[in-house]
Amino acid sequence: MADVVFAAPLGLVVGVPFGYALQRGRFCLNSAFRDLYLVRDLTLFRAWLLALLVQMVGVHALAAAGWVSLVGAPFWWLAALVGGVVFGWGMALSGG
């Protein structure tokens, strides 16, 4: 229980500045892949890869320091399938 209580504020402290920086930088995952294929511009795609690398290293560094514990959640394939369809439908409706 202590891990959950500590992880929520830590996520907020890291997530808010990171989200603000991404919003101000007009970073969009869809644009990163679109520009990669249509315009052959790697700028946003490289930023996406850097963000992914920082997240992967950061999470494992926090786990190694004992600040968070990594536990695997059960995988519900039907929920993942329905969620993916709903998300994709929403992206299509919003013009993404």
Domain residue spans of the chain: 2-93
Helix, strand, coil in percent for the chain, rounding step 5: 75, 0, 25
Q: Could you report the per-residue pLDDT of 28-53, keeping only the tens digit for each? A: 777 888 888 888 888 888 988 998 99
pTM of the shown model:
0.56
Neighbours of 47 (CB within 10 A): 14
Q: Which residue has the higher pLDDT, 4 or 96?
A: 96
Contact 45, 32 (CB under 8 A): yes
